């Protein structure tokens, strides 16, 4: 079974809101191995999530 890019990006977005199942993570990882576009998307999503966490002050902010 393989994910389409649409399914993969949907999972990437969902991963920001909820914990993906083991199976979903596996499928997603397999897809990211073969798909540059979705890898880029995943990287950007991770970056955005970090940035948002920092904005929310949810971080282990150093120097406080
Ligand atoms: Zn893809």
Looking at residue 64, what is its pLDDT?
A: 54
Q: For 8, how many CA atoms within 13 A lie in the half-sphere containing its CB?
A: 23
Cα(44)–Cα(19) distance, rounded to whole angstroms? 18
Q: How far is the CA of 27 from the centre of ligand 1 (A)?
A: 11
> How far is ligand 1, taken at its centre, from the CA of residue 37, in Å?
6
Residue with tokens 């389409």: 4
pLDDT in tens, 12-55: 999 988 999 999 999 999 999 999 999 999 999 988 888 888 88
The CA 54 to ligand 1 mean position distance, Å, reads 28
Kindly give the distance from the C-alpha atom of residue 51 to the centroid of ligand 1, in angstroms, as a whole number: 24
Cβ 15 vs Cβ 44: under 8 Å: no
Q: What is the pTM of this model?
A: 0.74
């Amino acid at each position: 079974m393989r994910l389409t890019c649409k399914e993969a990006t949907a999972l990437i977005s969902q991963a920001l809101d909820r914990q993906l199942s083991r199976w979903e993570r596996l499928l997603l990882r397999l897809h990211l191995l073969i798909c540059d576009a979705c890898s880029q998307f995943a990287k950007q999503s991770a970056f955005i999530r970090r940035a948002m966490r920092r904005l929310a002050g949810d971080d282990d902010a150093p120097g406080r």
